[in-house]
Structure 1
């Protein structure tokens, strides 16, 4: 069977694309109170900011440590949230919900002959837990973690892990991410890019535009 839509591999970012990064706070919303949504947003934003800064500094620590540090900042930013919830929030992050359409989309692509992989900033342990919790391990061929390189996206060598492993030219790979900066990095590397714009955010990085913009993976 030929690969789906002519692409030999479909590669997905994990957090925000396959897995809902706000599910951890939402799971404990009653305990956290009205600051929950903003706390979750800052937790995510700081997690990403720390990855970019450490990549630029050449001072790698794994993504789980950044996740803990980002949550500590968010809890300090919202002192009305009792810090006793820290452990519960971190535990919930190991078992984030995947988006509703994810299992059926991945199965359909797999049935059409494409290789399927995750390419993520997440640590191997985080990704293994998330994939197993969402029962996606039966459809994914590979899970690529930046931990192998000890840097973070959007460093070009991260995207190169896929082409090296699969012995493909970049334009044979379709890369899907909800993070616009990640799409810019992948586009510069040469991937066909699909921005999953779940939040209807305005476009940016216009010199590295996505090939396709979709509201969710269901239309892939």
Structure 2
């Protein structure tokens, strides 16, 4: 069955999650942060994801903004910066203004010109996602933005992936699901979506029951896969 619907994870897939720490380090007066920002960005993202999984397993759901703050607090403390309230506030502010990866607008535009439905399916809370979409200027290239908050559990719970069919009325085989998270792409493949893993960092494949159908270095090849 032909692909009619292209669904994208948001953070790390369309939006560069390292941009907040990188941009903060480039600001005047934050020269002392420049040696810390790569570790902060890496630990922040890892803890953010770990906290979503742990909350899903234990049934203690909260919104993505809370786990984003919790992950940052852990990362700052790990780097000996836990007492810098001004830095914390600035990093959180910048997270609402994440940059899209350079190829994103052209890729989405090509999909729309080809008649494909395009949407985000994300752990992000609706207000966070709206901020990121508006900051990146891609709102007119998306048909919808779907958040896990409507079901109260984080990915990779199957009820999250159910949101796509419920919203667009498409069969699983009509969906191309795209994520930079190997575990997310694998879970979506096991669910029944056709999947593409955007492996920007060249990481090994996760050892999970299912594997992504396609692995890419960036998003430029998505329109061809979806054709």
Q: TM-score per shorter chain, which class? A: over 0.9
Structure 1 residues 203-218: aligned runs within 5 Å: 203-205=205-207, 207-218=209-220
Q: What's the counterpart of residue 116 of structure 2?
A: 114
Q: TM-score, normalised by structure 1?
A: 0.95
How many residue pairs match? The answer is 216
Q: What's the counterpart of residue 21 of structure 1?
A: 17
- Judged with a 3 Å threshold, the aligned counterparts in structure 2 of structure 1 residues 80 and 132 are, in CA distance, closer, same or farther, namely closer
Displacement after TM superposition at 1:196 (Å)? 0.3
Instruction: Say if 1:33 and 1:81, in contact at 8 Å, map to a contact too.
Output: no
Are residues 1:166 and 2:168 paired?
yes
Displacement after TM superposition at 1:108 (Å)? 0.3
Instruction: Say if 1:184 and 1:205, in contact at 8 Å, map to a contact too.
Output: no
Residues 163-184 of structure 1: CA distance to partner in whole angstroms, max 9, x if unpaired?
1111111111000000001011
Q: What's the counterpart of residue 62 of structure 1?
A: 63
Structure 1 residues 115-130: aligned runs within 5 Å: 115-130=117-132
2, 5, 27: which one aligns with 1:9: 5
Instruction: Say if 1:35 and 1:81, in contact at 8 Å, map to a contact too.
Output: no
CA distance in 2, matches of 1:57, 1:49: 12
Q: What's the counterpart of residue 101 of structure 2?
A: 99
CA distance in 2, matches of 1:98, 1:172: 26
Are residues 1:153 and 2:155 paired?
yes
Displacement after TM superposition at 1:6 (Å)? 2.4
CA distance in 2, matches of 1:180, 1:161: 20
CA distance in 2, matches of 1:183, 1:175: 7
200, 203, 215: which one aligns with 1:201: 203
- Gapped runs of 5+ residues in structure 2? 223-227
Superposition CA RMSD, Å: 1.3
Are residues 1:138 and 2:140 paired?
yes
175, 178, 187: which one aligns with 1:176: 178
Instruction: Say if 2:183 and 2:208, in contact at 8 Å, map to a contact too.
Output: no
Instruction: Say if 2:190 and 2:211, in contact at 8 Å, map to a contact too.
Output: no
Residues 13-69 of structure 1: CA distance to partner in whole angstroms, max 9, x if unpaired?
000000000000000114213121011100000000000000011111100011011
